[in-house]
């Protein structure tokens, strides 16, 4: 051993004994506050585990079985997914769901953003308007669907007599008897019910825009459209992305309104993807096949959400 290795470094005469004691103690323990933080988030993690991860794993496992309502399940591998590929009814339901999602998303985002622009500034009765616009959100979808079904009734409802009184129709017309009026009637109900929810999300984004930006643009001579185009829209992008993802996901999972108001009619043209999953799982009792349909729909939702996040994410400038 060289002499240089035996000489302790300057400024650290007790370095070797200290290192020996630290090595004997083992790795340093985490501070107590780290364990306290884990305890705080433990209930949320437990909820995610019990109500999301465990059911998701069970659904994936069921999709690989012939799982009857009564009796023992039988392993069939990917047979349910192969049957799904040739299920024309599922693809028709998915096609209708996408069509409804496009219509509902456009209407909800347009109505929600318009209402947010209307009430985000302090003005007389702004609080009353916010409450009135948000009030339909607290109504359950089942209750709203039952209400809309009564309003659309050709005999005892309101819409058909009102259209006849205004001269829009010759006599009373059953709005739910043909596809187009039924489709747009349900879409209008969803917009009426949920526009206030997206109004709140977009209003929070609008109120987060610093007033100095708008004032500086006004001083520089920017008109109202230019301020909206180059300041408001870019700065509200994150709130818009959140609202869009929630809107698309909720529309893709539509079930209550079409089940209660139309029951899949007329002529089974308003069966959504979730409606078809419900029918296969709890009407035909093909639980394994319904689980496979659910996994495919989940994969579609994940892909759509990722695409939306990529398109609406803030891009960092390149160096």
Q: Beta-carbon neighbour count of residue 278 at 10 Å? A: 16
The CA-based angle 182-253-205, given to 5 degrees, is: 100
Please report, in tens digits, the pLDDT of each residue of the chain (319 residues total).
444 444 444 544 455 555 555 555 555 555 566 777 788 888 888 998 988 899 999 999 999 999 888 888 899 999 999 999 999 999 999 999 999 999 999 999 999 999 998 888 777 887 888 889 999 999 988 999 999 999 988 888 888 888 888 888 787 888 888 899 899 999 999 999 999 999 999 998 888 888 888 888 888 888 888 888 888 888 888 889 899 999 999 999 999 999 999 988 888 899 999 999 999 999 989 999 999 999 999 999 999 988 888 877 765 444 4
Residue listed under structure tokens 């000489």: 7
Say if 229 falls within a structural domain.
yes
The pair phi, psi for residue 66, each rounded to 5°, is -85, 100
pTM above 0.75, yes or no: yes
Say if 222 falls within a structural domain.
yes
* Share of the chain residues as helix, strand and coil, in percent rounded to the nearest 5: 70, 0, 30
Say if 178 falls within a structural domain.
yes
Total domain count, the chain = 1
Say if 173 falls within a structural domain.
yes
Say if 50 falls within a structural domain.
no
Domain that residue 286 falls in = 88-312
The DSSP output letter for 258 is: I
The pair phi, psi for residue 30, each rounded to 5°, is -70, 150
The Cα–Cα gap between 102 and 100 comes to: 5
Say if 163 falls within a structural domain.
yes
Say if 220 falls within a structural domain.
yes
Residue 237's domain is classified under what CATH number?
Answer: 1.10.3720.10
Say if 217 falls within a structural domain.
yes
């Amino acid at each position: 051993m060289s002499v240089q290795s035996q000489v302790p470094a300057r400024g650290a005469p007790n370095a070797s004994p200290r290192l020996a004691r630290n090595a004997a103690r083992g790795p340093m323990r985490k501070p107590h506050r780290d364990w306290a933080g884990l305890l705080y988030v433990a209930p949320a993690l437990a909820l995610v585990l019990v109500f999301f991860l465990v059911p998701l794993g069970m659904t994936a496992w069921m999709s690989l079985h012939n799982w009857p309502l009564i009796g023992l399940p039988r392993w069939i591998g990917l047979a349910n997914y192969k049957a799904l590929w040739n299920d024309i009814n599922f693809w028709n339901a998915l096609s209708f769901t996408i069509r409804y999602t496009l219509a509902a998303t456009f209407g909800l985002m347009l109505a929600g953003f318009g209402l947010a622009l209307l009430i985000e500034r302090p003005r007389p009765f702004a609080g009353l308007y916010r409450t009135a616009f948000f009030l339909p959100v607290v109504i359950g979808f089942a209750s709203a669907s039952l209400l809309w079904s009564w309003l659309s009734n050709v005999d005892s409802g309101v819409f058909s007599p009102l259209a006849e009184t205004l001269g829009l129709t010759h006599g009373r017309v059953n709005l739910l008897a043909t596809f187009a009026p039924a489709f747009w009637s349900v879409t209008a109900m969803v917009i009426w019910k949920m526009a206030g929810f997206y109004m709140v999300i977009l209003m929070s984004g609008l109120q987060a825009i610093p007033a100095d930006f708008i004032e500086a643009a006004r001083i520089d001579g920017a008109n109202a459209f230019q301020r909206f185009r180059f300041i408001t829209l870019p700065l509200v992008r994150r709130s818009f992305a959140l609202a869009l993802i929630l809107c698309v996901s909720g529309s893709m999972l539509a079930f209550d309104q079409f089940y209660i108001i139309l029951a899949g009619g007329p002529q089974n043209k308003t069966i959504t993807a979730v409606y078809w999953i419900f029918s296969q799982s709890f009407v035909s009792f093909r639980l394994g096949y319904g689980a496979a349909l659910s996994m495919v729909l989940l994969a579609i939702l994940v892909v759509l959400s990722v695409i939306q996040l990529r398109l609406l994410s803030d891009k960092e400038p390149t160096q």
